[in-house]
Amino acid sequence: MADSRVIPIAAAQAATDAEGETVWLYEKQKKIYPRSVTGWFVNWRWVMVWITQLVFYGLPWLSWNGRPAVLFELASRRFYIFGLVLHPQDFIYLTALLVISALSLFLFTAVAGRLWCGFACPQTVYTEIFLWVERHTEGDRIARMRLDAAPWSFDKLWRKGAKQGIWLALGLWTGFSFVGYFTPIRALWAEAFTLGFGPGNGSGCCSTASPPTATPATCASRSAPTCARTRASRARCSTTTP
């Protein structure tokens, strides 16, 4: 015989204390104030911060035979890595490189611990940089706790504003440098002052398939300085690229 009992469902009531005041059964997330630490491992982490950031920020500006040393040109489907030019059919080499990198990561982690996560991972590197900015604008741990607890004043406003401003500038420069791996960064820098950004503005394109001059239809969607740089760059590349 089937059970015909019905279990009533009632809305849950908020918990109340003895005086009838509502008590919320969750804890507000507390802000973490990390301490400044020193030591051998911290020094090595900062060495890796300098190495990784010099490579990341400096590589797009490095020239190689009249073009960026590292450029992933998606429009022409050509990847330039110093003297090496990769085409879509060469992705098997990239796959092999990624497999070797993954296996190396597993091997180094098993043998020596979390080397990548502790010293070279982007999250670790940028956390260290952002904490350094926070310490130099708001002070050490105790000073930051006192600053957050204090009422708003000119000193608190400029310290908080300086920290957020530096963080914002660092984020913008990081994004700009990342785009520089896909668009010639020198042309991108020049167009940043004229706000001449637009699709297909690869004025540094060194593809052999690119025509020596820009077509009128292409120029119609670009500014005059951008189109002029495109013609000059393609004409130069057509004479220098084999």
pLDDT in tens, 83-119: 888 888 888 887 888 899 889 888 888 888 788 888 8
For tokens 């004025």, the residue is: 203
Tokens of 3: 């059970």
pTM of the entire structure? 0.65
- Three-class secondary structure assignment of 120-168: HCHHHHHHHHHHHHHHHHHCCHHHHHHHHHCCCCHHHHHHHHHHHHHHH
What is the spatial distance between Cα 238 and Cα 212, in angstroms, rounded to a whole number?
6
Distance separating alpha carbons of residues 203 and 230, to the nearest angstrom: 4
What count of Cα atoms within 13 Å lies in the side-chain half-sphere of residue 214?
Answer: 25
Q: Which of helix, strand or coil describes residue 203?
A: coil
Please state, for a pLDDT cut of 90, what percent of the chain lies above it.
26
Which among 173, 171, 178, 229 is positioned nearest to 200, based on CA atoms? 229
Over residues 145-165, the pLDDT tens digits come to 999 999 999 999 999 999 999
